[in-house]
Structure 1
Amino acid sequence: MLTATVVNCSIRYPDRPWWETPAAAARDGYPAVEFWWPFAGPVASDAELRRLADALHDAGVRLVALNTFGGDLAAGERGILSHPHRVSEVRENAESVARIDRELGCRLHNVLYGERLDGVTGAAQDDTAAANLAYLRETIPVPLLEPLSGTRPDYPVRTADQAAAVIDRVGGGVGLLADLYHLAANDQDVAGTLRAHVDRIAHVQIADHPGRHRPGTGRIPIAAHLALLTELGYRGLVADEYAPL
């Protein structure tokens, strides 16, 4: 059965600077790591890339997934993909991500859609997102789209069906990130969602609900969902993306 061989360093080790977290992951037995975008702006500097490469090398772990730049997450932003006035940031970030991929072998990149903006129509934002996703698809190996919970009610990608509609609009080439915590928190039929969308799923993340803590602390039957994914033929990675208690 599938098990988590990846850990999300950004949420799992919040009390450490990001460059120290690969070593913590190695001590916890993970051979691979993923991050939310750890750098301050959309373009990682040479020094930041060297620090990331050195941290991974010294810890002996692989970088397998990395969020693209999502704006100021601490201030509540949840992506800029659909924001017309930030297209240049999306594309500058894509070039920076592509460089990281070339140097470190990373392939999976979660792209946060962006919350609805006041004064801009939903159609204009969706057009921007589609154009940016088409650009990302040609620039980085595997862009991912993830249904999110905990966002404004009008956030456009809260269900797997909504994510699939966006992917279909750009003609494929974008994977679905199935985060079992977000699916459950949005009152999705998680097993039904996995069955319906397994062919799109390119990455899986796990945390329990409620609380977003270690599996077994909430009500999600995570082992059963991972067994179902195995039965359905999913052979990708599974990442622990939970907050420590």
Structure 2
Amino acid sequence: MQNNSYTVNCSILFTDVPLLERPAAAKAAGFDAVEFWWPFPTPVPGDRDVDAFVSAVRDAGVRLTGLNFAAGDMPAGDRGILSDPAQVRAFRDNIDVTVGIGKTLGTGAFNALYGNRIDGTDPAEQDRVAAENLAAAGAAAAGIGAVVLIEPVSGAPAYPLLTADDAVAVIRRVERDHDVHSLRLLADLYHLDVNGDDVAAALDSYSDLIGHVQIADSPGRGEPGTGTLDLPTYLSQLSGNGYDGYIGIEYKATRPDTFSWLRDTSSWVAAPTST
């Protein structure tokens, strides 16, 4: 793959420069596409902050392929607000801002982190709230020809979606109960592997539902070639199954030349761990 097959996550990479300078840094590194986690401290930022973000992407000459909905205080451990009954208004207001940015920049996918389980709150109530919020988000995204992504996540003990099956069950519920069909699976190969999912089986079983793919090596979440995850085989499998979207680069840089693996993909990855 060439750099134009990838979209680089500017919330986890290029962290040595201010956030609004990262799209330009990505362009200078040879990328034409970027994605971001929610880039603002609140679900509804001021117009000036939104305009500055939009201008940073446009002025860099890159495409914003993906944007997360507001997910709470990520450094403190939050992983989404959409299943929190106390934050329904905040999430619904955030839909308008997020999809509005996407409409302006031609963004095709919005990642909706599900949210942690909340002590003292019935999980069934959280799931009901999540389905209603996802239906609203999915309808808004569909209105601009985009999709909403549901992501299994690792490293968050209270996060309930760990496998592709977990995420797809949410997608099916929203389809069944709300007749919204614009939700897709975000197949982050690192998270799936760390959580013990059968990655190859998931890529085959849900090939028609995969809306985006992200990569990092496992263990460690570093560059391809720093671990044992057989990324080339999985990417070949995805291509063979008909996936032709961007591959999101979402890893923690561990070396100064963090994109050197792109110049020699034959040496990305060590041999897969035998089972």
Tell me the TM-score normalised to structure 1 length: 0.96
Determine the C-alpha separation between the residues in 2 that align with 1:205 and 1:44. Answer: 27
SS at match of 2:155: coil
CA deviations over 1:113-172 (Å, ceiling 9, x no partner): 0111111111000000001011111112311000000011x5221110010000000103
Instruction: Kindly indicate whether the alpha-carbon contact (under 8 Å) linking 1:82 and 1:114 is maintained by their aligned counterparts in 2.
Output: yes
CA deviations over 1:7-58 (Å, ceiling 9, x no partner): 0000012222110100110111110000000101001321112211221222
2:184 is aligned with 1:182: no
AA aligned opposite 1:219: T
2:142 is aligned with 1:142: no
Greater Cα offset, 135-144 or 199-208: 135-144
SS at match of 1:183: helix
Equivalent positions of 1:27-66 (< 5 A) are: 27-66=28-67
CA deviations over 1:175-212 (Å, ceiling 9, x no partner): 10000110111111111110111111000001001111
2:236 is aligned with 1:235: no
Equivalent positions of 1:159-238 (< 5 A) are: 159-171=163-175, 172-238=181-247
Determine the C-alpha separation between the residues in 2 that align with 1:6 and 1:56. Answer: 13
Q: Name 2:116's counterpart in structure 1.
A: 115
Determine the C-alpha separation between the residues in 2 that align with 1:213 and 1:145. Answer: 23
Greater Cα offset, 30-39 or 1-10: 1-10
Which structure has the larger Rg over C-alpha atoms?
A: 2
How far the C-alpha of 1:2 sits from its partner, in A, is: 8.4
How far the C-alpha of 1:106 sits from its partner, in A, is: 1.1
Structure 1 segments unaligned to the other structure (5+ residues): none
Structure 2 segments unaligned to the other structure (5+ residues): 176-180, 255-275
Determine the C-alpha separation between the residues in 2 that align with 1:48 and 1:186. Answer: 36
Determine the C-alpha separation between the residues in 1 that align with 2:45 and 2:184. Answer: 24
Residue identity over aligned pairs, in percent, reads: 48
Q: Number of residues paired by the alignment? A: 244
Instruction: Kindly indicate whether the alpha-carbon contact (under 8 Å) linking 1:2 and 1:238 is maintained by their aligned counterparts in 2.
Output: no
SS at match of 1:114: coil
Cα RMSD of the aligned pairs, angstroms, is 1.3
Instruction: Kindly indicate whether the alpha-carbon contact (under 8 Å) linking 1:2 and 1:230 is maintained by their aligned counterparts in 2.
Output: no
Runs of 4+ in 1 over 4 A off after TM superposition: 1-4
CA deviations over 1:52-111 (Å, ceiling 9, x no partner): 122122211111100000001111111111110100011000010121122111121111
